[in-house]
Amino acid sequence: MSSKKDLQLIDYEKDRDLLKSIQGNILNKHGGGIELFVFLKFVSSSNDVSIQLSQLDITSAWEQYQNSKFYKGNESIKMFIGCYLTYNGYKYLGFNDSHIPKNEAFRAGMHSRNLGDPERSEWEEPYNCDIDAALILIDDSEKDLKDRLDELKQAWGSSIVGIQWGHKLENEHGQTIEHFGYVDGISQPIFLKDQYEKVASKDVWDPAASPSIVLEKEPQSDYFGSYLVFRKLEQNVKAFKDAEERLANTLGFSEETEEVAGALIVGRFEHGLPVVKFGSVPDAVRVSEDNDFDYSLDPEGLRCPFHAHIRKTNPRGDSTRSFGITEDTEKDHRIARRGITYDEADRNGDLKQYPEKGVGLLFLCFQRDIINQFEFIQQSWANNNDFPKPFTGIDPVIGQNENREDGKGGVAEQKWRSIKGDQQCSSLAGFVKMKGGEYFFAPSIEFFKNLNTKK
Ligand code: HEM
């Protein structure tokens, strides 16, 4: 697959002004191991809040780059700080309608969207109430983060309505994984020229992406921001692992080959190898962050099922094959994932422990248009029984189809190819529970500088 011909990747030197004006973590994931999320509901006067926000020393994309360039692996680097506003937050600060980002989903809030989520009354605090803003602090030192949290508590007092910690989880090879045990964060759209040049192989799948899929002009301004989706997704590891084992038995895999069952669910083996490239059982344990593949040689879903998580969420040409949708249109649905795992069950990285709750993913993604990107992936692909083909079933990892407002709920049985080559039907879903979340906008650095003047 080729990339758009007019694609302009970002060059750190040439695009310095742009990078200085947008927040970090949007174009490139920050590599820090611990993240602290602080949720705010403003209580002071809007003027006071504006002053406090303008003093936050938010990290620009340029600063993030400079910090990473000089980081030698063990010294402490400057803590990352990001700040994001909800529609309510903008209104509280006194912005009139024409100055507030326009995306309909952003303005309505996550709780009012048709994503198949549980009712908002069942969500955790503070997500079950309206939030005005979120801060994200990233560092490798828990102590430094706790010290900064104490300062924030002094400054913001009762405006702080929620605190959420995220800790990077790693496997024995130092790869970043999620709680089901699979390497996460491999496939991302790439916006930066020097990062793109380092991609070892991109003959089949070109990860280059125009910054226009994540950057949106701020209203009445020359600067750019980005929409941020935040979702706290609890993972029932025990139920998932039991289901993997049951599926392995149903499909006739032996103890040596049972890993294949999980790979059919996710679309990659635990150590990253894409199942569509899987050739023999010893492959299964291979450490691989290979992203140079698509599904053109598997048009019937015989190697990687159509419902596998990574095939549902990035169909790599299935929309073209099934519906004639152009490659560029399909690629415009991509998101920049920036999530991190959380552990409130004292799992402490022990992958032999299978908690039923208290662990999960703080799913974050940046995009230019929440409706055409995150919501499209969740609703039209993951939750859709009939994508990319009729009766495919939902995405077994994140698909939700029970609470649909149009009454077309229920889960079509997914079809799985057994070791003998025949098809077995079995519905796998419900291992991930949405505990709450919200839609934010990440304003530009200039926005915070001018906070007291422009409304
Ligand atoms: C607890 C929930 C989730 C888990 C355990 C999970 C796990 C994974 C894993 C293991 C991968 C493969 C590694 C990689 O390429 O990064 C992946 C890829 C991906 N996930 Fe998720 N994910 C979750 C939630 C979501 C959500 C909510 C979305 C969007 C609605 C999403 C979208 C994607 C996308 C777009 C990819 C890359 C697919 C590709 O380009 O091949 N994920 N996820």
- pLDDT band of residue 409 (cuts 50, 70, 90) is low
Q: 314 CA to middle of ligand 1, Å?
A: 9
Instruction: Evaluate: CB of 160 within 6 angstroms of ligand 1.
Output: no
CA angle 325/209/31 to nearest 5° reads 130
Q: Is the pLDDT of residue 141 over 70?
A: yes
Inter-residue contact 46 to 92 (CB < 8 Å): yes
* DSSP SS3 for 30: coil
State pLDDT tens for residues 95-112. 999 999 999 999 999 999
Inter-residue contact 424 to 251 (CB < 8 Å): yes
Instruction: Evaluate: CB of 336 within 6 angstroms of ligand 1.
Output: no
Q: Is the pLDDT of residue 443 over 50?
A: yes
Q: What is residue 330's predicted lDDT score, i.e. its pLDDT? A: 98
Rounded distance between C-alpha atoms, residue 452 and residue 54, angstroms: 8
Q: What is residue 161's predicted lDDT score, i.e. its pLDDT? A: 98
Instruction: Evaluate: CB of 363 within 6 angstroms of ligand 1.
Output: yes
Q: 85 CA to middle of ligand 1, Å?
A: 25
Q: In angstroms, what CA-CA distances link 338 with 167, 366, 383?
A: 13, 8, 21
State pLDDT tens for residues 207-239. 999 999 999 999 999 999 999 999 999 999 999
Pocket test for ligand 1, best of 170, 176, 240, 309 (most atoms within 8 A of CB): 309
Strand boundaries in 293-346, DSSP class E = 336-337, 340-343
Pocket test for ligand 1, best of 110, 170, 187 (most atoms within 8 A of CB): 187
Instruction: Evaluate: CB of 378 within 6 angstroms of ligand 1.
Output: yes
State pLDDT tens for residues 232-251. 999 999 999 999 999 999 99
DSSP 37-65: EEEE---S-HHHHHHHHHTS-PPBHHHHH
CB atoms within 10 A of CB 90: 23
Pocket test for ligand 1, best of 1, 184, 230, 434 (most atoms within 8 A of CB): 184
Identify residue 220 by its one-letter amino acid code.
Answer: Q
Q: Is the pLDDT of residue 15 over 70?
A: yes
Q: What is residue 7's predicted lDDT score, i.e. its pLDDT? A: 78
Inter-residue contact 366 to 336 (CB < 8 Å): yes
Q: What is residue 3's predicted lDDT score, i.e. its pLDDT? A: 42
Question: Which helix (H) or strand (E) segment is 347 a member of?
Answer: none
- Nearest CA to 71 out of 144, 142, 139, 167 is that of 139
Q: 397 CA to middle of ligand 1, Å?
A: 9
In the chain, the percentage of residues whose pLDDT exceeds 70 is 95
For ligand 1, atom 9, name the residue with the nearest CA.
184
- Nearest CA to 349 out of 175, 202, 207, 107 is that of 175
- pLDDT band of residue 2 (cuts 50, 70, 90) is very low
